[in-house]
Structure 1
């Protein structure tokens, strides 16, 4: 297949939480995803580069460099590429309004859907009280998450040897641990409230590594997920439908995160 002629083209793609520079980043999966999917506008919705991880130890394999080069190449060929930094790549927040190789760095953006609905595009960490008020705790949690990822890799190595599908420890915890469920719910409500305050019809964000599309109180909340575990991206079709595409397991590629797609209403 010609990478310049992918199988699926979208009006817009939203990618967040790639964490280039961290050992858990699945940049190789994202590169594979981009062989088959393209869009006229690509939003990089924060934590694309993990400055926190790079400060503690340098980890930059070829796949991480290849992703950066691919984004630069897409911008050169005419795609609109917009970078909204998050907390892990906060060093880029000093460069709002500038361009790097055609990639525009902005604090947040308003994406106008095919039907005219307006969506606030923002990473979301500024509404996370742990990140804003207890950075030491956020860094501690980040280390714990990295440890969980390493354990999860060992577990899944055994699962693959016995023919079982991929299983995510952190995703399981997000649905089973009451405090995690409450945190996700509060985060979603806060971001939806911010979109309403700004006069937008919805919000597109990242940060909590939990891909979803949800309508609540006339506000659409959409989270891109991540490329550490879930390997998900949010896509807008030409007719205005939004879809979350999962790219984790080769046997389950393109199988959706429920709900798979929602038409703007």
Structure 2
């Protein structure tokens, strides 16, 4: 089967390095597409919750796949988020087809798009980082409990159930937070004449025209690869939400050239050839990969 050719694909909130990450499903998706641009819109690597004893081979395969795409025909743009904010000190960085940025603006068929993670709107992160981290650990525990519940439900022949979605939808403050987030993003986009505003962060995939009386914009959220397993795709002047559980392509699971490896193998394999790269680029990529490797040391 041929890969689907896209102008742009956007994924966010993968949270590599956590129990909730669906790395194999993400590999299935990445292997099914051939985008001109792949935007990683924050929280791809969860440095906040990086565990020295937990970073499965499937998570490493995702990193290898992203780097492999960047060495071919895909421009890979890593927009930093709050869970991978340690990478913000490297922005802006350009290394061939791979970029690290804090935000991105694009012109798409005569329209302006604004892409950023979205944590800048979150006061709990800006003003109480420790509390936000504590909430992240709680969310991870909830995901583990949910996996146990869904295993039992599947054994009983019943449908899966999302505890976190139930909590989010049932707690008035959570619903208000999401609505406030979407309104803030929409208002600022309209104020700055953006036709599209593309976010992540809140794990709520959405495509909706937002109008505040002063203008309108298309609000887009790429969702996540913890619960919703969603992405945004742009082709033929249109945006759509890709939903893995509905749209997955079974033949695409893992590239044959992506094999079992540890972090040291990945680093040695992906470091650029020093005879072909500027010294500044070499230093930057070594720093980034070393930063991740340090999180794994006992």
Map 1:154-169 → 2, pairs under 5 A: 154-169=148-163
Pairwise CA distance, 1:167: 2.0
2: CA distance, partners of 1:23 / 1:100? 31
Question: Of the two, which has the highest radius of gyration?
Answer: 2
| Aligned-partner Cα distance in 2 for 1:100–1:24 | 30
Query: Contact 2:15/2:21 (CA < 8 Å) preserved in 1?
Result: yes
1:176, CA displacement in angstroms? 2.4
Matches within 5 A, 1:90-101: 90-100=85-95
Aligned to 1:262: none
Q: Secondary structure at the match of 1:138?
A: helix
Aligned to 2:37: 41
1:124 aligns with 2:113: no
Paired residues for 1:146-161 under 5 Å: 146-161=140-155
Question: Is 2:23 the partner of 1:30?
Answer: no
> What is the rounded CA distance, in whole Å, between the counterparts of 1:164 and 1:103 in structure 2?
43
User: Retained in 1: the 8 A contact 2:29–2:248?
Assistant: no
CA displacement 1:214-246 (0-9 Å, x = unmatched): 111111111100011111011112x21111111
Q: SS of 2:48's equivalent?
A: helix
* Secondary structure of the structure 2 residue equivalent to 1:53: coil
Alignment root-mean-square deviation, CA: 1.7
8 Å contact 2:19–2:143 — kept in the other structure? no
- Structure 1 segments unaligned to the other structure (5+ residues): 256-265
1:219 paired with 2:185, answer: no
Q: Does 1:14 align with 2:10?
A: yes
Partners of 1:91 and 1:245 lie apart in 2 by 29
Task: Give the deviation of 1:32 after TM superposition.
Answer: 0.9
- In 1, are the aligned partners of 2:43 and 2:82 still within 8 Å (CA)? yes
Structure 2 counterparts to residues 193-204 of structure 1, below 5 A: 193-204=187-198
CA–CA separation in structure 1 for the residues paired with 2:145 and 2:95: 37
1:53 aligns with 2:49: yes
d(CA) in 1 for partners of 2:244 and 2:34? 14
For 2:116 and 2:72, how far apart are their aligned partners in 1? 25
Q: Which runs of 5+ in 2 are unaligned?
A: 250-298
C-alpha deviations, 1:158-199, integer Å up to 9, x for none? 111122232211122222221111010001111112222333
Contact 1:196 1:202 in 2 (8 A): no
1:208 shift after superposition: 0.7
CA contact (8 A) 2:79 2:102 kept: yes
**Equivalent residues in 2 for 1:184-263, closer than 5 Å:** 184-217=178-211, 218-237=216-235, 239-248=236-245, 252-253=246-247
Question: TM-score of the superposition, structure 1-length normalised?
Answer: 0.87
